[in-house]
Amino acid sequence: MKKSMLATIVAGGIAVLTYAAHSYASSDYFTYKIYGYYDSAGSQVGTYYRPCFGRMGKLTGEKTSVKRLIESGTCR
């Protein structure tokens, strides 16, 4: 009884860790991105920087419905 319960707990723990590691590795955790926001005339009116490692992003200027990726890269 104890061995089967322990085996079930260990298997569940391994499954959770595997899922977490996959989610962690496949996300944009190590990628930074810079987006530009543009108005109807095509002028850039805002910039959004999304840093690496799950930190909060920073918006400067205005946020519009037209968003274009300016730059992306990998943090080391």
Identify whether the C-beta of residue 58 lies closer than 8 Å to the C-beta of residue 49. Answer: yes
pLDDT of residue 51: 93
Question: Any idea where the domains of the chain sit in the sequence?
Answer: 29-74
Give the model confidence (pLDDT) of 7-65 as tens digits. 788 777 777 666 655 555 556 788 999 999 999 999 999 999 999 988 899 999 999 99
Residue 69 neighbours by CB under 8 Å, 6+ apart: 33, 34, 35
